[in-house]
Amino acid sequence: MANKIDDATIEYVGILAKLELSDEEKEESKKDLERMLDYVDELNELDTSGVEPMSHVFPVNNVFREDVVTNGDGSADTLKNAPESKDGGFVVPKTIV
């Protein structure tokens, strides 16, 4: 079965992915997704009814430890990596107009 990705879908996936694609990139991405999905559809040859999805190979569940602070205040060093910072915080574009 050949998958078809329409304009609305590629627009929507772009929003989810937080990527801005040019018109040319959108067309490429459509073809790309269609090809990959056609390939992935091979999985449908397998009957998986009754099979539990396996997200983790080992049965490791919640891992708890005492909530004890072991690190110091690394905020100044952390902020050194920020493209823009001010008064001990990250600077982002204005979000409330």
Partner 1 sequence: MSITELTALELGAKIKAGELSAVEAATEALAQIKKKEKDINAFVTVDEEGALKRAAEVQKRIDAGELKDSPIAGVPVGIKDNMCTEGLKTTCSSKILYNYIPTYTSTAVDKLEKAGAVMVGKTNMDEFAMGSTTETSHFGATKNPWNLNNVPGGSSGGSAAAVSAAEVPFALGSDTGGSIRQPCSYCGVTGIKPTYGTVSRYGLIAYGSSLDQIGPIAKNVSDCAAVLDIIAGKDQKDSTSMERELDFSAALVDDVKGLKIGIPKDYFGEGLNSEVSQKIMDAAKVLESKGAILEEFDLGLVKYAIPAYYVIACAEASSNLERFDGVKYGYRTEQYDGLHDMYKRTRSEGFGAEVKRRIMLGSFVLSSGYYDAYYLKALRVKALIKESFDKAFSKYDLILGPAAPTTAPEIGKSLSDPIQMYLGDIYTVSLNLAGLPGVSTPCGLDSKGLPVGLQLTADCFKEKNIIRAAYAYECTGEFQPSPVACV
- The residue ranges that bind partner 1 (CB under 8 A) are 9, 12-14, 16-21, 25, 29, 32-33, 35-37, 39-40, 42-46, 48, 51-58, 60, 63, 65, 74, 77-78, 80-84, 90, 92-95
- Angle value at C-alpha 17, between 11 and 18, nearest 5 degrees: 85
Tell me how far, at minimum, the Cβ of 8 lies from partner 1, in Å. Answer: 12
Buried b (16+ CB within 10 A) or exposed e, 34-55: eeeeeeeeeeeeeeeeeeeeee
- Looking at the Cβ atoms of 83 and 88, the one nearer to partner 1 is 83
Tell me how far, at minimum, the Cβ of 77 lies from partner 1, in Å. Answer: 4
